[in-house]
Structure 1
């Protein structure tokens, strides 16, 4: 068999990286549950009409089809696709189970998703997301919009990653401002403004003139709004100085102020108002979030979300919500790619029990079981080689301790192979230092 060729966009981490990923997932889950979010897992597939509700193009959706399916039969599995995010499946779940849920409903999901886009650094076709959402029936109080960044801030502070900044905007600010200028297609303006970082203000201005007929004064006002950025409420005065008045703009400024000021009080430096953010034009209706890692800003957002009023609705029922999603694979992929994360050992094992001779394997297994009973990860040496070779086996994998069974009634000993210190030990009571019990993750 020839050596397999990797498939781009479908990451497979090495064991040490997988341990880091699992540690990150556990810490994120702990934070979500501390805030009262309940776990949920939805199916991997959704009907195509559901998947396309969120405005994604069909070329990004992977279709599910049986190999032997008869295309002439019509319908069938070709109407199903793999979900490309967790918000659409969640909205569908809420609609199907609204009679069984207590509202407001707070849930988290940590699952794989699939998206058929061009793979590049930090962007994959199969990746892990960690989402939280709060939905309510008919109306959702705005204070949940202020809570989202605080949850994510706590989650990020628990992780071995660089500091993060959550950028926030409000669709009402932008739409109200553009309408106040006399521009009647705010979505198109937002789409053009969203190109600022890629093509610069001159080309953005030209697009505004060419596509929507904006005047030079309107273009200047749009570009000046996009420049506004602040970690406190001062952005409101900056917008007011542009002399645009609109009721929707005023409403958006009040809401955005509440998000920024709540974060400034509880987590100074976490949130920054950034009035050029435009995302989710087909479904977000108010607050929007993007998150950048310090030192990795050029790669864009690793956590995003916002307020949606109409995604989960059918007939007379409406379940507005607000949510935010951590791109776990995206975040880790960037950090792995820059060798920014490391783990103290490549296996969970804390102790290797040395095997003096094969006939004593049963005794060594008993020692290992005693240690495992107290949650100390332990394995027995694979063979009764010379002790020097068994120690090197532990060293190569970063395992800190080797346990030596005592001979002829002598007590057992355990050796810290990093320092060389060796002491008597009883498998029923010995404990390693807390910092050695589990692999330690560090960021550089």
Structure 2
């Protein structure tokens, strides 16, 4: 009996042309990460629930638990394993387990799926791809890496059709020092509330801060700090003008000023100091990042991360790190899913080799083999139909060239560009399509 297929929300499944566009993004991201000296690692899908749930308020809401459906009675208690909801937590565990085999500072990239047990909504999925880079050192991590990650992301986005964007940068030590200077004891709780500014607005945030034990004046000062942003170092004077002093605040301001100065020199116009950025996970201790698309800032961050000093520690040694993650599925949910970005064809094939008749299929296969040996994606026609139908087969898939074995008057092979109709003699050992046709290209719905 046939069963009805019921869609499950929160999962991306692309059509072939869309999948090619996704692969283009993934290949570009990987290439740039490697250009900047990051090595690839892959971690398991599950971590202990204890490790996953220790990362802050948000983490407790996001864990998909894993256990066997047919587990015996003694395994029916609370599950001990969960699917990871980001790459940073499993990477920290990976560093601890392999510290003796890694060379520090260790630069890694990781492009994998993650899972969040939350209600799917625009730009947020139950299953999604993240592309992470992290730099981890043993004992101490120099602050200059916090600026370097911005430059890597700027390099990635310069090669992709993402449009105008801004990386908003803050330093958690600014917030921590400012709150301590105000006499606020619950720094983490205050950070979590301030992090809700974009979702609920300043009035609601002020009410929550007061409900959390702050005075009206303390809440007002917290909001005043969060309102400060600038594309240069002028934010320092504006913070100082609020009249709050603390050594941790001084340290955070100096670090953020350095990050913004480096970004301004090497990727002008990309970074902005934005003191409302907090990030909800507890493990961040220094610089934090969120990246907004200028044309749709309400979509939320498409690339986030920050510094963590104590996430990876075995009790004897600590491995501080800094990382940033591109939300690939989130980004493509907008570019592909909403704006219609796609690929020029549904297959990587550039050439279809026609089959004159089934007795000559072996020759068509030899031609395809020769072309593939030189890196040209080639397909042999599935049927020895009339040439018109074989051309139609190629056209429907966007394959630009059809190869006709022995079609020339002298028995030579011929290749036809089915878009222009131009046909000419071709040698399987030397013919190459134009570079633009060798691989599918991205096609924007606004492209003429």
The TM tier, using the shorter chain, reads: over 0.9
Mean Cα displacement is larger for which, 189-198 or 119-128? 189-198
CA distances 1:181-238 after superposition (whole Å, capped 9, x unpaired): 23332323222222222222223223333332322x4333222221111111111122
- For 2:288 and 2:24, locate their aligned partners in 1 and report how far apart those are by CA, in whole Å: 28
Q: 1:64 and 1:198 mapped to 2: Cα distance? A: 31
The alpha carbon displacement at 1:257 in A equals 0.5
Report the TM-score when normalising by structure 2.
0.94
**Counterparts of 2:74 and 2:342, CA distance in 1:** 53
CA contact (8 A) 1:183 1:214 kept: no
The separation in 2 between residues aligned to 1:203 and 1:183, in whole angstroms, is 19
Matches within 5 A, 1:288-299: 288-299=288-299
Corresponding position of 1:373: 373
* Aligned ranges 1:81-230 → 2 under 5 Å: 81-215=82-216, 217-230=217-230
Q: Secondary structure at the match of 2:179?
A: helix
* 1:384 positional shift: 1.8
**SS in structure 1 opposite 2:31?**
helix
Structural mapping, 1:273-352, within 5 Å: 273-352=273-352
Q: Provide the C-alpha distance between the structure 2 equivalents of 1:63 and 1:73, rounded to a whole number of angstroms.
A: 13
- Tell me what 2:355 maps to: 355
Q: How far is the alpha carbon of 1:340 from its aligned partner?
A: 3.9
Q: Does 1:29 align with 2:30?
A: yes
The TM-score with structure 1 as length reference comes to 0.95
Matches of 1:373 and 1:8 in 2, distance apart? Answer: 42
Query: What residue ranges of structure 2 are gaps of 5+ in the alignment?
Result: none
Helix, strand or coil at the partner of 2:11: coil
Contact 2:413 2:426 in 1 (8 A): yes
Counterpart in the other structure of 1:10: 11
Alignment of structure 1 residues 424-443 onto 2, 5 Å: 424-443=425-444
Partners of 1:38 and 1:287 lie apart in 2 by 23
Of residues 333-342 and 344-353 in structure 1, the stretch that sits farther from structure 2 once superposed is 333-342
Q: Which runs of 5+ in 1 are unaligned?
A: none
Specify the alignment match of 1:65 in structure 2. Answer: 67
Conservation of the 8 A alpha-carbon contact between 1:233 and 1:261: yes
The 2-side partners of 1:297 and 1:285 are apart by 25
Q: CA deviation at 1:175?
A: 1.5
Q: Verify the 8 A CA contact 1:160 1:442 in the aligned structure 2.
A: no
Count of residue correspondences: 442
Give the deviation of 1:73 after TM superposition: 4.8
Q: Is the Cα contact below 8 Å between 2:96 and 2:313 reproduced in 1?
A: yes
Contact persistence 2:52–2:59 (CA under 8 A): no
RMSD, matched Cα: 1.8
